[in-house]
Structures are given as C-alpha cells and as structure tokens.
Amino acid sequence: MNTPCLVEMHGISKRFPGVKANDSVDLRLFAGEIHCLLGENGSGKSTLMTILSGLYKPDAGQLFIHGAPVTFHSPRDAIRAGIGMVHQHFKLVETFTVAQNIVLGDRKLSFVPNMDQVESALADLSRRYKLAIDPKARVWQLSVGERQRVEIVKMLYRGCETLILDEPTAVLTPQETRELFSILREMADQGKAIVVITHKLREVMEIADRVTVLRKGHKVAEYTRGSFSEAQLARAMVGKEIISRIRRQPSNAGEEVLRLEKVAAFNDSGGRLESVSLSVREGEIFGIAGVAGNGQRELAEVISGLRRISQGSIYINGVDMTGSSIRQRISAGISYVPEDRLGTGLVPGLGIVENVILKGYHTPAYSLGPFLKRRDALSKSMELVSKFNIFASSLESPVSMLSGGNLQKLLLAREFSSDPKLIVAVYPVRGLDIGATDAVHRLIIEEKEKGAAVLLISEDLDEVLKLSDRIGVLYEGRLAGPVNREDTDIEELGLMMMGASGEVASGGIGSC
C-alpha cells in the first residue's frame, strides 16, 4: 500500500482485573480505507479503540500518528491528533440544536459564539460528504440514524482524519445501515481513515477494505479486500470451525397459547405500548423484530406480569389472565428470559443452587412446610449443570462470577426445565459468543419442537429470520405484521422497522 500510514498502534497491551483485554496488538490505518475491526464480545476491539481515542492509557505499547510517536492524556489530545470516536451510546444534549451540540466543548470558541458561521461550516461539511443534516434542528427531534450523523459531523467539524465507529449498525434499520455505509465510503474516498468495530461478518464482507480480527485480546488475522471469505473470517474470529447446525423446522403449530387483544401499557419514561394484538400457538416461534426501545421490553413485561396494562386483555391457553399475578402466570406455564440476565433473571450474589430454585422455591418440589429442601435443590442443580453443559467451579459461589454464556445457559436451564407452555425470550443471545449463541438457539428450537409457544424478541434481523415462523415488528409501541417467514425478507422487515406499513396483515399500525 502506497498511501501514507495515518495511525500505527504498536504492541498495545491493556490489562483489566482478571483479563488481558489487549495483548501486544499491532494495527495500522491508512488514509482512504475502511478498516473493520472484527471480534466477538470481549475480544478487546472496543478497548483497543478506546485507547486510540485517548480514553484509556495502554499498559504497554506505542502510538504513532503520521509516523511520530504520541501519548494521549485525554480524548482531547486524540481529537487534536485527528482521531475521533463515535460511541455506541451517543453523547448529545437533547434540548440543544445540532450546531450547539457540535461546538459543545470546543475551546477555540469565542465567549459569544457566532453560530451563523458554525452553521454554514456545517452546511459545507454536510454537502461535501453527502451527509444530510439540519444544523438548526433540535436533537430530541432527530431519529437515531440522524443522531448518529450528528456525531459523525461533530468529529469531522473538529478536523478528524481518523473516524472510529463502535458497532454503528446496532441501532439502525437495514436501510439506515446502507445509507451509513455510503456516507462512510464517501468519507474514505475523500481521504479519511474509517474504523468500524463490529462482530457482524456480513458487514465486513460489505464494506471492509481491510479487516483486522481480534480474539481474546490477540490480533489473529489481517486481510485485505478480496483475500477473505466469510468462512475464513468466522474461523479467525472463533478460533475453530463453527458450522451452525441450526435449520428451521417447518412449524407444526397447534392450539393457541398466548393471545393479546389490543393491549396498551405505559413505560417508565411515558412512552407506551399501543393497541398490540397478537397470538402465538403451540410449536411456533413468533419473532418480534425492531430497533430496541420501541416497546420490546414493555411487551415482555406485560406478558410476564411485571408491568400492568392500561387497556386490553391477555389470554393464556384461552384463560383471561389480564389481572393475574406474576406467580399465577408462572404456574400457568409462562417462562420469561429477561433482557437483564444478571440482576433480574438471576440473583448475582447467590449461588447456582439458590438461583435454580428462584421460581420454584415455594412449591413442594423444593420446600416442605416453611423449610427449603436443600438436598433436592442441590441434586436438581447438579442435573441441570451437566445436562446444559454449564461450566462452573462451584455450585455455591455467586453466579456473578460465571461468564455470559454460562449465565444464559443457567437461566435457560431453569426456565426450560419446568416444561413451559409459553416462552418469552428477550435478546437471548445478546453479548454471547458464536458458540454460546448456537447453543441458545438450539435450546429454543428444542422447546419449540416439544410444543412450547415461543415469543422471541430480538434486535438482530438475522436471528429473527433464522428462527421464527411468523414475524412482527415493533415500532413506536405498535406492532406491524405479523408476516409469515416464507413470505418476507430483510428488506420488508427493514421498512416495517421504520414505520412503513408495507403489506401489513393485521391492523394496529396507523399513520406515521
């Protein structure tokens, strides 16, 4: 490569309690390229970029910008050196305008800033990189995709030559993703270096000029466009051959298990679930897609009884359970895999045994009069640990010491061992590595085959499409669909995620 090396990271190491997040990692970034940083959760890719953006200091190693060694003491130093990072969670003041947000913290600004000048500079940037943005708009009015563009423009305005984006597509619909990618390409063509942190192979295949793969803090591979395949990337990322043996079985749907009729509910910040109707039958997986924060959590809580509804009714196996308590629903066979595994689904400070009995401690299986049947709980725990391949050093030490995959397996073990009629699973594989993801998917499909009705809430369209028999989309508290898996594709779901009704079957989605 002849273009000048913009950034070089040499032998970077960083330790955190108990883990070596980066172990002498080398990385070089060139002007004009889109560089993907690929790795599973916990492989150290975010740490590496956080070091480059000046937030962390490396324990060892050296940074070079334009060939000169540098040390960053704060993100301000990094920005001065031309490196900007767009974090997964945007750092914007909602009540300020776009222009105000962009100049926030800019020390060159005069005491009474000339906003007209700022705004015209922004308009220039927006034209130059084909980034549609209105400098006068207030941030709270903007969609997630637009907010992300504001963050990008902010970095451009500060003169960044290297732009790092941390999992930028996690919050976007497929269409917004495509738009983002074309913006990134435009910026690269004009001489910027772009780093995209991701764990999605499809994205790497789509945009990467070069890709660096990290695994457990080590750099394991580096490829240039054209020299890698999806399978190669997967192997590098996981370290072994992963053949997903998951194939969707045709649905063999039986009796209706769950029915929601025009359910409405408020959430904590005042948003709501509006007139949601759906039905899930035995032996079927009903997928709920949609960008997180559009009512997914509320929907799950309404069904499990953790959240009260303001309108509508809920039927389980034909019985009206609208006003039933959480415990009544548990004994009716509802099993709930919550988004927050550790803290809601599992008690962090208690051991495996005491987490196994969390839902059944009051039943004759685990208690006799006022006393707990400790021996029965222990033998059940041992049985589940071996059956679900949970790796734990002890059954008594706090479960907060288990890894994410083992936590989720423990949670599923408890939930599925009660032979549930209905499973509500929210983001069941979030943060899990490929191996654990596969295991969780297999378990869910097993339950479906045993005749359980499954409501799968996910933000990953690939996951929804892989597992579901029917799919609905939540957008601003309303449910669009459902559509049959066979009759839909990623394109249509993407449109539904943005509120377009598409060929929506049932009512419920109105104007937008």
Partner 1 sequence: MALEAVKPGRITIEKDFSPSPFMQILVPLIAVILALAICGLFLLLSGQDPFAAYSKMFFGVIGTSYGMTETILKAIPLMLAGLGLGLAFRMRLWNIGGEGQLHMGAFAATGVALFMPDYPIWVVLPLMFLAACFAGGVWALLCAVPRAYLGVNETITTLMLNYVAIFWVDYLVYGPWKDPEGFNFPLTATFSESATLPALAGSRIHFGLIIGLIMAVILYVVIYKTRWGYEIRVIGESEPAARYAGMNIRRQIILVMFVSGALCGLAGMSEVSGLVHRLRPGFSPGYGYTAIIVAWLANLNPLATVVVAVLFGALETGGYIIQTSGISANLVSVIQGTLLFFVLGGEILVRYRIRLAKPAVSAGEDSA
Binding site for partner 1 (CB under 8 A): 10-11, 15-18, 57-62, 64-65, 68-71, 77, 80-81, 304-306, 325-327, 330, 336, 338, 340, 343-350, 354, 357-359, 361-362, 367, 370-372, 374, 397, 401
Nearest distance, CB of residue 380 and partner 1, angstroms: 15
- What are the structure tokens assigned to 205, written together? 């295949």
Smaller CB distance to partner 1: residue 219 or 329?
A: 329
Nearer of residues 232 and 344 to partner 1, judged by Cβ: 344
Instruction: Pick between residue 382 and residue 401 the one whose CB is nearest to partner 1.
Output: 401
371: exposed, middle or buried (C-beta count within 10 Å: 0-12, 13-18, 19+)? Answer: exposed
DSSP assignment of 207-240 equals H-SEEEEEETTEEEEEEETTS--HHHHHHHHHSS
User: From the CB of 372, what's the least distance to partner 1, in Å?
Assistant: 6
Place of tokens 């809601």: 344
Q: Please say which residue, 32 or 398, places its beta carbon nearer to partner 1.
A: 398
Q: Nearest 5°: phi and psi at 35? A: -115, 120
- Beta carbon of residue 56, minimum distance to partner 1 (angstroms, whole number): 12
In Å, how far are 55, 395, 412 from 379, measured between CA atoms?
A: 47, 11, 17
For partner 1, give the closer residue by CB, 426 or 495. 426
Q: Pick between residue 236 and residue 426 the one whose CB is nearest to partner 1.
A: 426
Residue 195 contacts residue 141 (beta carbons within 8 Å): no
Closer to partner 1 by Cβ: residue 193 or 402: 402
Q: What is the residue whose two structure tokens read 């962090």?
A: 348
Quick one: 418 exposed, middle or buried, by C-beta within 10 A (0-12, 13-18, 19+)? middle
Please say which residue, 119 or 301, places its beta carbon nearer to partner 1: 301
Give me the residue label for tokens 């790497």.
204
Nearer Cβ to partner 1 (346/429): 346
Tell me how far, at minimum, the Cβ of 176 lies from partner 1, in Å.
32
Residue 241's alpha-carbon distances to 231, 245, 364, 374, in angstroms, are 9, 12, 45, 41
Provide CB contacts within 8 A for 264, sequence distance 6+: 272, 273, 274, 275, 276, 309, 310, 311, 312
- Residue that is written with structure tokens 């937008």 in the block: 512
Residue with the two structure tokens 């930028």: 168
Least distance in angstroms from the C-beta of 349 to partner 1: 4
Q: How far is C-alpha 350 from the geometric centre of its chain's CA atoms?
A: 27
Task: Please give the full DSSP string across 107-156, using - where no structure is assigned.
Answer: TTS-SS--HHHHHHHHHHHHHHTT----TTSBGGGS-HHHHHHHHHHHHH
Give DSSP secondary structure letters for 387-411: HTT---S-SSS-GGGS-HHHHHHHH
Q: By the 8 A CB rule, do 28 and 195 touch?
A: no
Shortest distance (Å) from residue 199 CB to partner 1: 26
In the complex, minimum distance from the CB of residue 377 to partner 1, in angstroms, rounded to a whole number: 10
Nearer to partner 1, 357 or 395 (CB): 357
115-128 and 144-157 helices cross at what angle (nearest 10)? 110
At closest approach, how far in Å is the CB of 370 from partner 1?
5
Between 250 and 349, CB nearer to partner 1: 349
Alpha carbon of 182 to those of 187, 239, 369, 432: distances in Å? 9, 31, 66, 29
**Least Å distance between CB 254 and partner 1?**
27
Backbone angles phi, psi at 424, to 5 degrees: -110, 115
- Least Å distance, CB 70 to partner 1, is 5
**At its nearest, how many Å lie between partner 1 and the CB of residue 139?**
30
For residues 54 and 83, the answer to whether their CB atoms sit within 8 Å is: yes
